Amino acid sequence: MPAHSKHHDFRDALKIPDIRLFIGSVGLFTLASRALAVVIGFQIYKLTHSALSLGWLGLIEAIPAISIAPFGGYVADHANRRKIILVTRAISCACTFALAMISCRAHTSSLSGLYAMIFISGIARGFADPANTAFEAQVVPKHLTVNASSWISSTWISCSVIGPAAIGFIFESWGAYGSYLVITACFILSWVFTLSIPPKHQAPPCKKESLFKSIGTGWKFLFKTQPLWVSMILDLFSVFFGGAIILLPIYANDILHVGAKGLGLLNAAPSLGALIITLIATRHPPIERAGRNLLVAIAGFGFSIIIFAFSKNFILSMSALFFSGVFDGVSMVIRRSMVRLLSPDELRGRIASANWVFVCASNELGAFESGMVAAWIGTIYCVAAGGIVTLIIVGATALAAKQLRSLHFDIHSLEQKRTPPPPFPY
């Protein structure tokens, strides 16, 4: 059969053993990290009953992750990415085991000790995230980028559903100590899957540059490519203002009165929505009209957050979070594919590190912002205001960023289409 007429199966990426191992590594790591976020947040809120303490939790993780990520990108482009992932996974194992030891006596848990372990985890994340994103490009052939991206995203989201949902029940039965031991086991399995992937060829940097000049090269390329940096900034501000995850312990404990089990389900709801949409994306990838679809998805996210903010019914709250995940899942597939398709291989680690700076700033600094504002004006008004600001930002971006708005990819060749921007709205 001629190559051009070969039928593409939605399982193409899964036929390659190394991709399956990479997906397993990502899945187990996600399972552990999302479960960890639920346990540490609920434990700290139980100890302090303070929205501000939850905000500090986000800031403590953000400081090392954001400050180290640019250097992590440099290291990912100049050192063995597989080894970086193995070392950082091992640090994650050590930190969660230490959290278990700190929590073995619930009434004497040290708040400073909990924060310290999260700080160290943030340092590891600063090196791990750029390396993992760049290593994905070594494992996945270019022609399978979108298919593999959908499977990786689907796995990531599946585990984001299972991890929080399961850990809520584990926390109720075994407490923080047992929960952290289960999380540690998942980190260990993720390390084993990564170790099982054979070493891959890694293109060396084209020329020798100083550390800061090399980091700057990646950022210069990023800011010359409007669809990349605008999509990152759009995601940054939408999650920074519209993210409600850090405040879910307050909703579960004080507003909806559903406890740790309900908290786990609330954390899982956005991921379940994102899982369904990314599974659909394995057959119908949303990148042909990537710019338009990204803007619509983030606007939908903002509307969902506003509904969640005012809901005092558990089912309605779950539904609003579910749809926020549906829209976020579309955004995730598009942004992951854009970083891969618009980045040259020799700069991929540095561009990935820039992307992770935006991601960390949106998630962890957004958590700090949410904690501060919730302590000031109240949790419900804080979340609602964030959703409204998200809608304003999307509208301004749609009007101003013509290159992003007109971004199209050929669904078969994955090459960018050079077409003039259509009129807005369209």
* 85 compared with 285, residue with greater pLDDT: 85
Residue 261 falls inside a structural domain: yes
Q: Looking at 28-42, 297-311, 342-356, 381-395, which range is the least confident one? A: 342-356
pLDDT tens string 325-334:
899 888 888 8
When mean pLDDT is compared across 140-154, 218-232, 296-310, 402-416, the lowest value belongs to 402-416
Given this model, what pLDDT does residue 421 score? 46
Three-state helix/strand/coil letters over the chain = CCHHHCCCCCCHHHHCHHHHHHHHHHHHHHHHHHHHHHHHHHHHHHHHCCHHHHHHHHHHHHHHHHHHHHHHHHHHHHCCHHHHHHHHHHHHHHHHHHHHHHCCCHHHCCHHHHHHHHHHHHHHHHHHHHHHHHHHHHHCCHHHHHHHHHHHHHHHHHHHHHHHHHHHHHHHHHHHHHHHHHHHHHHHHHHHHHHHCCCCCCCCCCCCCCHHHHHHHHHHHHHHCHHHHHHHHHHHHHHHHHCCHHHHHHHHHHHCCCHHHHHHHHHHHHHHHHHHHHHHHCCCCCCCCHHHHHHHHHHHHHHHHHHHHHCCCHHHHHHHHHHHHHHHHHHHHHHHHHHHHCCCHHHHHHHHHHHHHHHHHHHHHHHHHHHHHHHHHCHHHHHHHHHHHHHHHHHHHHHHCHHHHCCEECCCCCCEECCCCCCCCC
- What pLDDT sits at residue 261? 85
Q: For residues 150-162, give the mean pLDDT.
A: 80
How confident is the model over 288-306, as pLDDT tens digits?
787 888 889 999 999 999 9
Q: Is 246 contained in some domain?
A: yes
Does 151 map to a domain? yes
Please tell me which of 178-192, 234-248, 379-393 the model is most confident about, judged by mean pLDDT: 178-192
- Report the CATH number that the domain containing residue 17 is assigned in CATH: 1.20.1250.20
Q: State how many domains the chain has.
A: 1
Interval 137-150 mean pLDDT: 79
Mean pLDDT for 350-365 is: 71
Residue 5 has pLDDT above 50, yes or no: no
Q: Give the residue-averaged pLDDT of 10-39.
A: 88
Categorize the per-residue pLDDT at 184 as very low, low, confident or very high, splitting at 50, 70 and 90.
very high
Q: Is residue 5 part of a domain?
A: no
Q: Is the pLDDT at 2 greater than 50, yes or no?
A: no
Indicate whether 208 pLDDT > 70: no
- Domain hosting 109: range is 13-199+210-417
In a domain, 399, yes or no: yes
Q: Report the percent of the chain where pLDDT is more than 70.
A: 87
Q: Is residue 304 part of a domain?
A: yes
Query: Given pLDDT bands bounded at 50, 70 and 90, which one contains residue 412?
Result: low
Domain-located, residue 7: no
Question: Would you say residue 288 lies in a domain?
Answer: yes
Res 425: pLDDT: 46
Q: Per-residue pLDDT averaged across 415-426, rounded?
A: 54
